Structure 1
């Protein structure tokens, strides 16, 4: 609201202007009316109100600016926040989170199987590529920040954070992928939850039962344990949802079911103590297509081929002997080839029974020819002595054909 007096004694209020009413006294002098006095009083009142409003707005703006300045200056950057959390004065990465408490640190485990390379019956092991994830709560790593929700640590910073000493008892060989850098990550959340993940390629032993080979089904256990902390300090749990994730994996000789069996276990090492353990069972169903085409059908044909000698003329001795010996040698070679990819176990396998039966049929065909050949030659041999002739007559043999 703006007031100004014009030269013609006009008063402007905003865009409205008017002239005050003028009265004259007895001497002819001009005097302002009551309306003009009221207008001046009105003007002074609103100027005072406007001044107070401006002052109030300035105070509010100052408070807001001060609050923002205090709020922004009181929070640390990500770099400073990480270094504050892992400061050695109050954080020791060599001690478990709940080491001084009466309850263990619960480690939640999840496993993502990326690939299964091979299942070797000879060495009784299999190779697997997994992403191993662990999650736990470390109250020493709690932080409060308005904008930072997760702290992502670099590979070198992970060494300054406590992580579980998990290991796989069935492991033969293992390594963490390091192309282009070691494949590990660690996230810290506001409430102190730590998420730790790594990509591991390892070869695990699997005690296979080959009694039904090649019509068998193998179950390979994968155990996860803590090496140095007993159940009093560390306890393992599978993730509540999807503890094991297995994408579509294609194996040349096996198929895997869509679901796997997970359970908790416990291992007792005598005086050392009771250690937490998790168990994963991987099931492999063997495909029989390869063995039908490479073992069963060829062995059946070899047995049938050995029976061809029954239709060969009895006097064609070289042909029948060659055919019988050839089938026996072929069957023996095939049996040795089928067992070459298997370990030397003490029990009898299904493939051993099959090969033994086929070899028996082939060998019996060869023995049958030898027996028939001996009997045929004995009947066709002439009798030269009287005693032999009498014996032949007693058996009903014609004298004209045998006695000379």
Structure 2
């Protein structure tokens, strides 16, 4: 492994460039000295001013948030007066010695931090006290959906971020003004999910919440607007159910005396529609209202069941007619 370093020696000094690493280490030790720097308090806590934290999300695929980056300014980490070095890159093991925002995702169901081969964290300190902190993670977020028009529905899902322990008086979150959310997709990829696609650009805004202790916290919200792709349901639900209904109508052309054939065809079509409807419901959450797909499957089942009832009625009427004809002919 080759390490390249740039070291600016003090004027008149004859130190070699190989001493750059130890020089940077001395700067870090100076900045993070426990007697002068306290990682347990926010940068502007003593000034009674909220520390502004810029937040940026980096998404490699729509169904997985890959990284969150935060930037802020900590005047305690300003080292421009002692060195010409522009930036210090901290090892992930030294990050615990520096204050970082306690940002969390309000609607998170599960999350994991990438730790292969080490915890994937980035921490850069610039000579003016500007700090960049980035961490790779994967999140599963909750989203309340309205399925009344399923599968011809559109959904709005939000990403909520908030400071957990610091009130709005100490930490103020705000979106990165240039690119709040970056989709790191290839040029040939589309911003789509297997079942959804974006039908309008995402929206970002700042917000605030008040907890049960009447304390106000700074938060951020990003809204994603999805519309369901009908391709799967056209090929797996709508077209097959229409074919089953048409198949049940074939019994109208079968001779009325072919009782086993017509009854078997009608019963099979009814059972097939029932099984298909059950399979669709099993893949959806239980809701108390009727969905559009329920109406479609119910109407299809009604047509198939009506075809079976039609044969039962015609069979009875045919036997009655034959009986009357036989009686009249015998007389």
CA distance in 2, matches of 1:247, 1:258: 18
**Residue by residue, what CA displacement relative to the aligned partner does 1:43-87 show, whole Å, maximum 9, x if unpaired?**
xxxxxxxxxxxxxxxxxxxxxxx9524999xx9911100100000
Counterpart check, 1:141 vs 2:141: no
TM-score normalised to structure 2 length: 0.89
**Residue by residue, what CA displacement relative to the aligned partner does 1:158-203 show, whole Å, maximum 9, x if unpaired?**
0000000000011111111011110001111111111100001111
Structure 2 match to 1:327: 269
Relative to 1, partners in 2 of residues 1:360 and 1:300: Cα closer, same or farther, differing over 3 Å? same
Matches within 5 A, 1:2-401: 68-69=12-13, 77-117=23-63, 128-144=64-80, 145-248=82-185, 249-257=191-199, 259-382=201-324, 401=328
CA distance in 2, matches of 1:196, 1:232: 21
CA distance in 2, matches of 1:258, 1:148: 44
CA distance in 2, matches of 1:302, 1:270: 56
CA distance in 1, matches of 2:309, 2:321: 19
**Residue by residue, what CA displacement relative to the aligned partner does 1:283-325 show, whole Å, maximum 9, x if unpaired?**
2221111110111111001101111111111111111111111
1:399: Cα distance to partner? 10
1:272: Cα distance to partner? 4.0
SS state at 1:270 partner: coil
1:218: Cα distance to partner? 1.7
CA distance in 1, matches of 2:14, 2:326: 135
**Residue by residue, what CA displacement relative to the aligned partner does 1:215-246 show, whole Å, maximum 9, x if unpaired?**
11121111000111111111111011011111
Kept after mapping to 1: 8 A contact 2:201/2:224: no
Please list every run of 5 or more consecutive structure 1 residues that lacks an aligned counterpart in the other structure: 1-65, 118-127, 383-397
Relative to 1, partners in 2 of residues 1:79 and 1:231: Cα closer, same or farther, differing over 3 Å? same
Kept after mapping to 1: 8 A contact 2:57/2:65: no
Kept after mapping to 1: 8 A contact 2:111/2:138: yes
Relative to 1, partners in 2 of residues 1:81 and 1:399: Cα closer, same or farther, differing over 3 Å? closer
CA distance in 2, matches of 1:67, 1:166: 43
SS state at 1:220 partner: strand
Relative to 1, partners in 2 of residues 1:67 and 1:155: Cα closer, same or farther, differing over 3 Å? closer
Relative to 1, partners in 2 of residues 1:103 and 1:71: Cα closer, same or farther, differing over 3 Å? farther
Bigger relative contact order, structure 1 or 2 (CA pairs below 8 A, ≥6 apart):
2
Please list every run of 5 or more consecutive structure 2 residues that lacks an aligned counterpart in the other structure: 1-9, 186-190
Relative to 1, partners in 2 of residues 1:146 and 1:91: Cα closer, same or farther, differing over 3 Å? closer
CA distance in 2, matches of 1:153, 1:335: 57
RMSD of Structure 2 on Structure 1 (CA) = 2.2
What is the aligned residue count?
Answer: 312
Relative to 1, partners in 2 of residues 1:151 and 1:343: Cα closer, same or farther, differing over 3 Å? same
**Residue by residue, what CA displacement relative to the aligned partner does 1:17-49 show, whole Å, maximum 9, x if unpaired?**
xxxxxxxxxxxxxxxxxxxxxxxxxxxxxxxxx
